[in-house]
Structure 1
Amino acid sequence: MSAPVEVDLPHQLGREEARRRIERSFGKLSGWIPGGQVTEHRWEGDTLTFTVAAMGQRVHARLDVRDALVHARIELPPMLGMFAGQIGAALKANGPKLLR
C-alpha cells in the first residue's frame, strides 16, 4: 500500500446532520470517479467505510464524521499511489458536495 490520502472537510452542521447528508448524497460518489463504482459500504457508528473499484483496482476509504469536520482517509493500492496528490485535490474540491 502507498501512503494514505487524508483530507479534513470542515462543516458547521453538527455530527448528526453531517452524517444524514452524507447518507443522502453518498450515491453521487461513483459519478466522481471515472469508471469507478462503490462495491460495498457500511456505517459503524459515525464512521462510513467503503470500497471503490476503479481501473482494475480496489480503493478502501473511510469517512469519520465529527462535530465540526469529516475526516476522509483513502488507502490507495501501489499502482494508484502516483495519483495521490490529484485524488486529494479532487476530494477537497468535491467532498463538500456530500455535505450539501
Structure 2
Amino acid sequence: MSAPLVVSIPHRLGREEAIRRLRVGLSRAAVSVPVMKVDHEHWEGDRMVFRVRALGQVAAGQVDVVDDHVVVEVRLPWLLQKFTEVAQRAIKDRGHLLLDKKK
C-alpha cells in the first residue's frame, strides 16, 4: 500500500470551535460531492475516524484537530490513487470553507 495522502489545514478558531464546525459541516460537505458517500464517521477525543466510498472503492482515514490546524490523513485504494492531486485540492478547499473564521 502506498503512503497516505496528508493535508494540513491551518485555522485560527481554537480546537473546540474547529471540532464543532467539522462535526456539523463534514456530512454536508460530503453530500455536495455526488460520487462520494460517508460510510462511517466517529470521534475519539480530538480525532475523527472515517471511511468513505467513491467510485465503488473504499478510502479510510482520520482527521486530527489541534489548536491552530487540522491534519487530514486518507489512505486511498490503488484504483483511486490517480485522483490524489484532485482529492488533496478538494480537501484543502472544503477544509478552508469549514474553518474560515468568518462564521
Are the aligned partners of 2:52 and 2:59 in contact in 1 as well (CA < 8 Å)?
Answer: yes
Listed as ranges, the gaps of 5+ residues in structure 1 are none
Q: Does 1:45 align with 2:41?
A: no
1: CA distance, partners of 2:27 / 2:98: 9
Are the aligned partners of 2:29 and 2:94 in contact in 1 as well (CA < 8 Å)?
Answer: no
Percent same amino acid at aligned positions? 39
Q: How many angstroms does 1:87 deviate by?
A: 0.8
Give the SS at the match of 2:17: helix
Are the aligned partners of 1:47 and 1:62 in contact in 2 as well (CA < 8 Å)?
Answer: yes
Q: TM-score, normalised on structure 2?
A: 0.89
Query: Number of residues paired by the alignment?
Result: 100
Are the aligned partners of 1:3 and 1:81 in contact in 2 as well (CA < 8 Å)?
Answer: no
Listed as ranges, the gaps of 5+ residues in structure 2 are none
Q: What residue is the counterpart of 1:54 in the other structure?
A: 54
2: CA distance, partners of 1:29 / 1:61: 16
Give the SS at the match of 1:43: strand
Q: Following superposition of structure 1 onto structure 2, how do residues 1-100 of structure 1 map, counting pairs within 5 Å?
A: 1-100=1-100
Q: TM-score, normalised on structure 1?
A: 0.91
Output one character per residue of 1:38-82: Cα deviation in whole Å (capped at 9) or x when no partner: 011100010001111111100112110000000011110011111
Q: How many angstroms does 1:85 deviate by?
A: 1.2
2: CA distance, partners of 1:61 / 1:98: 18
Output one character per residue of 1:3-58: Cα deviation in whole Å (capped at 9) or x when no partner: 21111110011101110111111211322433211011100010001111111100
Q: How many angstroms does 1:98 deviate by?
A: 2.4
Runs of 4+ deviating beyond 3 Å: none
1: CA distance, partners of 2:47 / 2:89: 22
Are the aligned partners of 1:7 and 1:73 in contact in 2 as well (CA < 8 Å)?
Answer: yes
Are the aligned partners of 1:5 and 1:75 in contact in 2 as well (CA < 8 Å)?
Answer: yes
